Structure 1
C-alpha cells in the first residue's frame, strides 16, 4: 500500500506527501515514514519536506523536523463548464510570444509577496522542475492570462500523477499590481475550465492557511475544505 507520495531530486531534496487511505492506522503511517526517513538519511540527500496530518506533529518534531506552516486543501467536482472573462486572452506558452526567460520573470512576479510560507525553490529551480515533473512538452501545459496584450497572470493545470482525472494547478498566480481587482477569482475559474478540457472531473487545490485571498477564491468558485496538513522539514 502506497502511503507516501515522493518526488526526488538527486541529492538535493525529497518532497513527501502523506496519502490518505481509509482505514489505515497511525502505526502504519509511522512505520512507512520511519523506513522512508532511514532511506533519506542513508542516501545523504540535502533536505526532506513533508506534508502530513498535524496529529503526527509532536512525533515529527521529536525526530528533528521543524514546523514550516500548515496548508488547507480544497476540492470540488468539475461537472460543468466555467465562464470565461471576455476581456482576458488565454495563451499556452508554446503559442505565446514569450521565451522561457520572460516566462520565468512572469512566474517570479506572480509569486512575489505571496502569503504562502513554503517557498522552497529559487525561480531557476522552479523552471528546472517544470521539465522534470511535467515532461519535455511542459510549455503546452503553461497558460498565460493577458489583458490588453499585457501578461498579468499564469496557470499550470495538470492531472495529478497516479490518477486519471484529478485536476491540480501546478501553479496559479496574478502579478502584484493586478491583485485585489477580481482577476484571481476569474483566472481560477478559467483554470478550472482548462482542467475540464484536459479530462479532469475533480479539482484539488491547496494553499497556506494564512493565505486568506486564495481561500476566498476557492470558496467563491465553489470549492469546499477537504483536508489540513502540516508542512515539516528536516535538513541533512
Structure 2
C-alpha cells in the first residue's frame, strides 16, 4: 500500500466534492465549496487529497481570505476511505503535514460541533480522532470555544454614563494589546505570550485584527470620566457577519463591569450600520466573557474545537 498526498487541481474537482460524511461535525458540501471557490476563499492549491495506490481516500480543505497568500484556517478533513481508526489518524496527519510544508505555515484547524456535542458519542469520537491527527501533525493544543450570536430583537444595551469612547492609532492599540495580556483567561493569548512575550503577542494581534474586514475607525477605546483608559473593543467583520472580534479590559479595571460597556459599544456601532447579526467567540473556560455575552443578549450558536500549536 502506498499513501500519497498532493494539492488538488481543477481536474480533481469532482473527486474532491465526492467526499461526504455522516459524522456530526461541520464539513464543506459541494454548494458551499463552489460558492467559496468563486469568492477565491477556497482554491485548488489549498484543497488536498490523500490517495492510497492512486485512489482518493481523504481530503483536507483550507480556507483563506480572497487576497491571502496562504490559508488562515483548516476547516475540513474527511477520511471516509480509512480502513480503521489508526489509518484515519495517519491519513489525516499526513494531509496536514503535507499542506503545512507547502504553505510554509500550519494554520489552526477548526471543527464546528453542536452545542451539546459531549452528549453524543459519535461527536465525541469524531473529535477524538481529529485531536489525535492534529497532535501528530504539530497542532497539540486543543481549545473548545463557544460561538455566540446577537440579533437586534435582543435589544442594544444602554450605554454607561461614566465612560466615553474614541478611536486610537496603531501605537496606542499596540500598547493596549500588550497590557491586557496580563492575567488573560484566553488560551490562545496565554500560549502566544509564552512563545512571543507580551509585546510580540501585541504585534501579532495588531497585524491579524487589522487584516480583518470592517472599518478601522470602529475600533474603540473606553475612557473614564477621570481621563484614564479602561479598555478597548474591536467591532469588525468575519467573511460573513459583523463581529465583536476582541475585547480587552486593563487588569486594574477588571471586575467593574467595563466588559459590558465595551460589548454594548460594539453592538451600537454595528446596529447603527444596520447589521442584522453580530457574532463573537470565547473560550468555553472563559466563564466571565461567556456570561458577559449572555448579559448583552447573545445566544450560543455552536461550539468549535480549535487545534493549534
TM-score bucket (shorter structure): 0.7 to 0.9
| Cα distance, 1:231 vs structure 2 | 1.3
1:179–1:101 Cα change, 3 Å: same
- Among 270, 280, 287, the alignment partner of 1:195 is 270
Taking a change above 3 Å as real, the CA distance of residues 133 and 229 of structure 1, as seen in their structure-2 partners, is same
Residue 222, structure 1, aligned to residue 297, structure 2: yes
What CA distance in whole angstroms lies between the structure 2 residues aligned with 1:173 and 1:46?
28
**1:152 pairs with 2:230:** yes
Measure how far apart 1:10 and its partner are: 5.2
- Candidates 140, 146, 149, aligned match of 1:72: 146
The aligned counterpart of 1:183 is: 258
Q: Match of 2:187?
A: 117
Q: Please point out which of 243, 261, 266 is paired with 1:168.
A: 243
The alignment covers a number of residue pairs equal to: 214
The structure whose residues are more often strand, as a share, is 1
Segments of structure 2 that go 5 or more residues without pairing to the other structure are 1-31, 37-60, 81-87, 114-122, 193-199
Distance 1:84 1:202, change over 3 A: same
Question: How far apart in 1 are the matches of 2:290 and 2:269?
Answer: 20
Once the 2 structures are TM-superposed, how far is the Cα of residue 51 of structure 1 from its aligned partner?
1.7
* 1:206 matched residue in structure 2: 281
Greater fraction of residues in helix? 2
* Structure with bigger RCO (C-alpha 8 Å, 6+ apart): 1
Distance in 2, matches of 1:216 and 1:178, equals 17
Structure with max Cα Rg: 2
Match of 1:45 among 101, 104, 121: 104
5+ residue gaps, structure 1 = 20-24, 94-98
Q: 1:104 to 1:217 in 2, by over 3 A?
A: same
Task: Give the match for residue 51 of structure 2.
Answer: none
Following superposition, the deviation at residue 17 of structure 1 comes to 6.0
Query: How far, CA to CA, are the matches of 1:117 and 1:192 in structure 2?
Result: 25
| Cα drift, residue 5 of structure 1 | 6.8
Structure 1 residues 87 and 15, CA gap change in structure 2 (3 angstroms)? same
What's the offset of the Cα at 1:67?
Answer: 3.6
RMSD: 3.2
Question: Aligned ranges for residues 99-110 of structure 1 at < 5 Å?
Answer: 99-110=169-180
Change in CA separation of 1:26 and 1:123 when aligned onto 2, cut-off 3 Å: same
Instruction: Tell me the equivalent position of 1:132.
Output: 211
Change (3 A) 1:134 1:181: same
